[in-house]
């Protein structure tokens, strides 16, 4: 059975309901949580978050209220962009803190750590030994995150902090960066020193895509099985076409290959054993690049 840790914990990953559901839900609650209806439906996933000071009822402070308003505006802008460019119904609620889901025994997918205390939690509660950050500098600056304080805390705790930036909401950038990101993830898992925490900003696109590509390329499964396994635990909408494109790039790099865009929609959702071996060798060769 899954557990939910933290004070008054809810996931900061939300799904926008249809308009008719939204109208009816307003009478019940100001929140629409993306949580399974039954504990048995949650599998082995773990969702963690921390509430902000304003959510704890300290919003009377004018300074905190102004900060909260700016944070709300950033969230609205971000979620609007995500819906427009990714065409999925999910939302990110930064004010509810870091949230994550345990995908396998050694792999966690989640949102950005916001402060050094989040790193403390990952180390103490989840035995995280590696953090793989997929954000660009501008993503981190947008949310006002002090990345250097997080990296410093990682060093103090013996956590290896790695960066493989990809542009947010950009499937072409994701496709190009997936091989290097998976190379870092596969190396960290193979070291066996603890769990690997993979995150982007919201943990809804880039991070789950990297985890799915890893399972597809290195765990002997096909793309749809890996995709369903992750999204059944964490509600998110990673770009499947970007993963197929990266698979194509790794498996078929001869100059006479048929353009990926001309292939059927299901192309490279499965690969032959020799293709998987080729992909694994090429991904491993990217370590340290």
Please list the active-site residues: 200
Nearest-angstrom CA–CA distance, 115 and 98: 9
Nearest-angstrom CA–CA distance, 106 and 98: 19
Could you report how far apart the first and last alpha carbons of the chain are, in Å?
40
Nearest-angstrom CA–CA distance, 88 and 172: 17
Quick one: DSSP state of residue 260?
Answer: G
CB 34 within 8 Å of CB 90: yes
CB 245 within 8 Å of CB 260: yes
Nearest-angstrom CA–CA distance, 193 and 240: 30
H or E element at residue 15: strand 13-15
Main-chain phi, psi angles of 48, to 5 degrees:
-130, 140
The maximal CA–CA distance of the chain, rounded, in angstroms, is: 65
Nearest-angstrom CA–CA distance, 209 and 95: 24
């Amino acid at each position: 059975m899954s557990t939910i840790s933290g004070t008054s914990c809810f996931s900061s990953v939300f799904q926008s309901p249809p308009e008719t559901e939204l109208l009816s839900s307003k009478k019940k609650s100001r929140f629409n949580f993306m949580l399974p209806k039954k504990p048995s439906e949650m599998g082995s996933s773990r969702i963690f978050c921390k509430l902000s000071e304003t959510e704890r009822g300290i919003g009377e402070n004018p300074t905190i209220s102004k900060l909260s308003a700016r944070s709300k505006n950033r969230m609205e802008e971000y979620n609007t962009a995500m819906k427009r460019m990714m065409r999925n119904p999910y939302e990110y609620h930064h004010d509810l803190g870091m949230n994550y889901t345990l995908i396998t025994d050694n792999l966690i997918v989640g949102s950005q750590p916001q402060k050094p205390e989040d790193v403390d939690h990952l180390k103490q509660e989840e035995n995280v030994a590696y953090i793989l950050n997929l954000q660009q500098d501008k993503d981190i600056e947008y949310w006002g995150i002090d990345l250097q304080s997080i990296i410093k805390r990682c060093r103090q705790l013996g956590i290896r902090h790695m960066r493989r930036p990809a542009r947010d909401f950009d499937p072409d950038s994701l496709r190009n960066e997936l091989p290097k990101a998976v190379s870092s993830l596969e190396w960290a898992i193979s070291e066996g020193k603890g769990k690997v925490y993979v995150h982007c900003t919201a943990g809804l696109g880039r991070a789950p895509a990297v985890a799915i590509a890893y399972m597809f390329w290195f765990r002997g499964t096909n793309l749809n099985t890996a995709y369903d396994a992750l999204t059944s635990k964490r509600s998110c909408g990673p770009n499947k076409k970007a993963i197929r494109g990266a698979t194509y790039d790794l498996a078929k790099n001869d100059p006479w290959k048929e353009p990926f865009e001309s292939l059927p929609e299901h192309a490279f959702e499965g690969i032959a054993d020799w293709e998987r071996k080729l992909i694994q060798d090429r991904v491993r060769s990217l370590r340290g690049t």
